Structure formats: structure tokens, C-alpha cells
């Protein structure tokens, strides 16, 4: 079973001007991430625009990713849908395409109770054999997976972790506390909390900023594991200026724009999620230049 740890980038989905998937650039970005030492590749997460891709596109992207990665790191597939039946179907497709781990966002739009969340994940876990990471992002879904619910889910054999993108450190801390001593991983979905996740007993992060600075993000984890907490802290602190640019727009729009500014033809996010003001472009360009001069990669 894949180890749920380290820095896992939710890989961008590069696109041509007509919004079709740029498969050549996708392969290039995967190789770029692996060369930087990432610990996994996560297909069609938030930064991969999974919310706007068709099922056929997801299948193609996952097939390309599995083939390109060729077993060098685990491949995560985001298979969460609004309903249980649809999630089971997409999860079984991902299993057939040889993904290593499933990342399953909570149901969204209609509010689910904690018992409904538990039954949703339990049912999916019974229908697949792959390890499952629960994806908690209440700002986008309208529901928070309670720590007690995560504790119950952790007792299911192939539910092996949770990604917490709530931005609430106490929520993530309770996930860690309530699953301590179990074979269960807690990942930060907020890039500014990765070091604090590790210090509290978590295992790393699914880090959108790794699309921009893969080596820097990997060093947060690697330095911590090597016992260099101050070096890890310096790497963690170094992404603050870039994350401050998120005030200008949608974070995954900013991330994709930044990667394009670094010279990679990843294209824009699919409409309508692609606007960035002139002030945002100027600020982002300045931050990228300053960070490049500081040696951030």
C-alpha cells in the first residue's frame, strides 16, 4: 500500500487555447515534479481543475499520468462526486486504470449530515480495494467532516488518511489527535500549515504551491524528516509572499498563471475561472522575480 506522506502536488491540467487538454505539457509537468523529488502526483484536484473536467477527460489524464509516472511515486486520483453511486463508479474506473490512491472530496451542494458522510465513505470503501484519503474542504463544499467522523472512518481498513483544507489548524489537530496510534495519515491541504502539520504528528501536504516551487515545497518535508526544523521553517516561510498574491483572485487561477509566467505553456484555467487584474499580474510578476533571485525553484 502506498505511503501517504510527503509533498504531493495536485498537478495542473495544462490546456491549449481552445481549452482542450495539452497532453504533451502534462507529461512535462509530471516529469518536472518528479525531478524535484515530490512524493506523489495527484490528478484532477482543485489545482488540476477537476471540478470542470469531463469524466472522459479525467480517464485520459489519469491514464497518461500512470503511464508517465511509471511507478516512481504513487498516483492519487480525485474521484469524489456529489453522489455515492457516481463516486463509486469513478473510483472503480480509477482503480482499473491503476491509480495507487483515491482522494475523495465530500459530497457538495446539498448539505450532508455526519452520518450521511460516514455511510458515503463506508459504501465507497466496500466497493474498491484502493486506499482512500478523505478530502475535507468546507469552503468549497459547505460541509466539514467532524473529527469524530474521521475517527470512525479511520477504523475502516482502506480509509487511510484525510486531507484537511479547512484552514482551521485546530480541526486538523483534532484529526491527528483522534487517530493517533492508528495507521492513518493526516495531510495539510493548506500550504502555509505543512510544517505545523508535521510538528503535530501529521505526514505532509497536498500542496498547490508545489506546481510553482516544487523543490522548495519538497524541502519543507525533507528538511523536517532530516531533523532540520529551522531549515524546514525557512522553506515554509519562503512561500508567504507568493501566497499573499491569492488576494487578487482564485488561488488555482493564480497558481496556473504563475507557472505560465515561469515559462511553461500550461495555458489558462477554463472559463470563467481565468481572470486576473492588472494589479494582480504586476504583483505576481514581482513576487516571482524576487523569489527566483532568492533561489526558489
Burial of 64 (C-beta count, 10 Å sphere; 0-12/13-18/19+)? middle
Predicted pLDDT at 2: 82
Tell me if 122 sits within 8 A of 115, measured CB to CB: no
| 163: annotated active-site residue | yes
The pLDDT-based confidence of 48 (bands split at 50, 70, 90) is very high
pTM: 0.96
- Enumerate the domain spans of the chain: 6-238
Q: Please provide residue 11's backbone torsions phi and psi, each rounded to the nearest 5 degrees.
A: -60, 140
Tell me if 239 sits within 8 A of 222, measured CB to CB: no
- In this structure, the number of other CB atoms found within 10 A of the CB of residue 111 comes to 10
Closest CA to 175 of 150, 198, 156, 141: 150
The torsion region of residue 151 among left (phi > 0), alpha (psi -120 to 50) and beta comes to alpha
Catalytic residue, candidates 163, 178, 256, 257: 163
Catalytic residue, candidates 121, 135, 221, 264: 135
CATH topology of domain 6-238: TIM Barrel (3.20.20)
CA torsion, ordered 8, 13, 14, 16, to nearest 10 deg? 180
Q: How far is CA 207 from the centre of its chain?
A: 5
| Per-residue pLDDT tens over the stretch 191-215 | 999 999 999 999 999 999 999 999 9
Query: What proportion of the chain, given as a percentage, has pLDDT over 90?
Result: 99
| Mean pLDDT of the chain, nearest integer | 97
Amino acid at each position: 500500500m502506498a505511503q501517504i506522506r510527503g509533498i504531493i502536488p495536485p498537478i495542473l491540467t495544462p490546456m491549449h487555447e481552445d481549452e482542450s487538454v495539452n497532453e504533451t505539457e502534462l507529461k512535462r509537468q509530471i516529469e518536472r515534479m518528479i525531478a524535484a523529488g515530490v512524493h506523489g502526483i495527484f490528478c484532477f484536484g482543485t489545482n488540476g481543475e477537476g471540478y470542470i473536467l469531463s469524466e472522459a477527460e479525467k480517464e485520459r489524464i489519469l491514464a497518461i499520468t500512470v503511464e508517465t509516472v511509471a511507478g516512481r511515486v504513487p498516483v492519487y486520483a480525485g474521484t469524489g462526486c456529489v453522489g455515492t453511486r457516481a463516486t463509486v463508479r469513478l473510483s472503480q474506473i480509477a482503480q482499473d486504470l491503476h491509480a495507487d490512491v483515491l482522494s475523495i472530496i465530500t459530497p457538495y451542494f446539498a448539505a450532508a449530515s455526519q452520518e450521511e458522510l460516514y455511510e458515503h465513505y463506508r459504501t465507497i470503501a466496500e466497493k474498491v480495494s484502493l486506499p482512500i484519503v478523505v478530502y475535507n474542504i468546507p469552503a468549497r463544499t459547505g460541509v466539514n467532516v467532524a473529527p469524530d467522523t474521521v475517527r470512525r472512518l479511520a477504523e475502516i481498513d482502506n480509509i487511510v488518511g484525510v486531507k484537511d483544507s479547512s484552514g482551521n489548524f485546530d480541526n486538523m489537530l483534532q484529526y491527528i489527535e483522534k487517530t493517533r496510534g492508528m495507521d492513518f495519515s493526516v495531510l495539510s491541504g493548506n500550504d502555509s500549515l505543512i510544517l505545523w502539520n508535521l510538528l503535530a504528528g501529521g505526514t505532509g501536504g497536498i500542496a498547490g504551491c508545489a506546481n510553482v516551487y516544487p523543490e522548495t515545497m519538497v524541502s519543507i518535508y525533507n528538511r523536517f524528516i532530516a531533523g532540520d526544523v529551522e531549515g524546514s521553517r525557512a522553506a515554509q516561510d519562503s512561500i508567504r509572499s507568493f501566497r499573499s498574491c491569492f488576494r487578487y483572485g482564485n488561488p488555482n487561477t493564480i497558481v496556473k498563471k504563475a507557472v505560465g509566467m515561469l515559462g511553461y505553456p500550461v495555458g489558462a484555467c477554463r472559463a470563467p475561472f481565468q481572470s486576473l487584474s492588472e494589479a494582480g499580474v504586476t504583483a505576481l510578476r514581482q513576487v516571482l522575480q524576487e523569489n527566483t533571485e532568492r533561489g526558489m525553484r
